[in-house]
């Protein structure tokens, strides 16, 4: 992976001494580094390979299957990428995995797709929380939310169905160009000039 493509360094030792020239150097470096975000994300998604967590398929296959089902159902590219990456937080977010995926994807998603990925953990619970002594209707706290149905549909059609070892999912390479296109243009970021 390419990183740190320039030898140029800012001259300050504390940010109070920073100059516009320093930030030209930093911006140039940021631009190059942020372009490699899809590579880092795809590499991280691959960490889910071999991680079964007791499920019939590993977490990478679950992700591919979820995205494949969404794609074959005619969902647009942004939705498919959201489906592909919805569980990418499983490695670092054992207790809040949906928040991790949501944070990574927020710059690139519509408000509704962001809401889906952020809350899919609670909505997915409808399919198993009752087996663990939890309330499967935890999602009802969002009954009045305009995105309730969209999130329920994501879990019903693509997430809770994506555990079939016999299903023929597309490989990660199939989704790679989609991830690159969706991540090429952030819609929301505090670093984006209006
Ligand atoms: Fe999940
Ligand atoms: Fe999932």
Give pLDDT tens digits for 85-106.
999 999 999 999 999 999 999 9
What pLDDT score does 1 carry?
A: 46
Q: What is the pTM of this model?
A: 0.93
In angstroms, what is the span from residue 86 Cα to ligand 1's centroid? 6
pLDDT of residue 185: 85
Residue 24 domain-assigned (yes or no): no
Q: Which ligand is nearest to the CA of 155?
A: 2
Whose structure tokens read 């710059």? 107
- In this structure, which ligand is nearest to the CA of 90? 1
Query: Which is nearest to 64 in space by CA: 52, 90, 46?
Result: 46
CA distance 92 to 95: 9
> Total domain count for the chain?
1
Residue 91 DSSP class: T
Find the ligand nearest to 102 CA. Answer: 1
Give domain status of residue 25, yes or no.
Answer: no
- Ligand number nearest CA of 101 is 1
Tens-place pLDDT, residues 62-92: 999 999 999 999 999 999 999 999 999 999 9
Find tokens 């591919």 and name the residue. Answer: 64
Q: At what angle do helices 37-46 and 20-35 cross, to 10 degrees?
A: 40
Distances (CA, A) of 67 to 72, 85, 136, 154: 9, 8, 24, 11
Q: How far is the CA of 85 from the centre of ligand 2 (A)?
A: 9
Spatial separation of the C-alpha atoms in residues 156 and 105, rounded to whole Å: 21
| Residues of the domain holding 122 | 39-184
- Calculate how far, in angstroms, residue 135's C-alpha sits from the geometric centre of ligand 2: 18
Q: How far is the CA of 187 from the centre of ligand 1 (A)?
A: 24
Ligand with an atom nearest the CA of residue 62 = 2
How far, in Å, is the centroid of ligand 1 from the Cα of 122? 9
Give residue for tokens 């305009």: 146
Low-confidence ranges of the chain (pLDDT < 50): 1
For residue 86, report the distance from its CA to the centre of ligand 2, in Å: 6
**44: which 2 tokens?**
């991280």
d(CA 61, CA 112): 25
Residue 155 belongs to a domain? yes
Residue 158 lies in a domain: yes
**Does 160 reside within a domain?**
yes
Residue 162 lies in a domain: yes
Q: What is the reported pLDDT for 29?
A: 93
Domain membership flag for residue 33: no
- Give the distance (Å) from ligand 1 centre to CA of residue 98: 6
Check residue 192 and give its pLDDT.
79
Non-local CB neighbours of 193 within 8 Å, separated by 6+ positions: none
Residue 88 lies in a domain: yes
The CATH number covering residue 156 comes to 1.10.3210.10
What is the chain's alpha carbon radius of gyration, rounded to the nearest angstrom? 19
Output phi, psi for 177, to 5 deg: -60, -30
């Amino acid at each position: 992976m390419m990183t740190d493509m320039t030898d140029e360094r800012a001259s300050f030792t504390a940010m109070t001494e920073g100059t516009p020239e320093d930030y030209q150097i930093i911006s140039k470096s940021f631009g190059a580094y942020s372009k490699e975000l899809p590579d880092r994300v795809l590499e991280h998604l691959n960490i889910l390979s071999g991680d079964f967590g007791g499920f019939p398929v590993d977490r990478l296959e679950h992700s591919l299957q979820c995205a494949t089902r969404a794609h074959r159902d005619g969902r647009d590219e942004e939705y498919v990428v959201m489906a592909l990456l919805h569980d990418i937080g499983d490695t670092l977010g054992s207790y809040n995995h949906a928040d991790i995926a949501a944070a990574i994807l927020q710059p690139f998603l519509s408000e509704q797709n962001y809401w889906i990925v952020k809350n899919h953990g609670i909505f997915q619970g409808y399919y198993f929380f009752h087996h663990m002594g939890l309330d499967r209707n935890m999602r009802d706290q969002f009954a009045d939310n305009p995105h309730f149905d969209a999130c329920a549909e994501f879990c019903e059609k693509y997430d809770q169905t994506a555990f079939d070892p016999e299903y023929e999912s597309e490989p990660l390479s199939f989704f790679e160009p989609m991830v690159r296109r969706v991540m090429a243009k952030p819609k929301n970021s505090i670093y984006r000039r209006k």
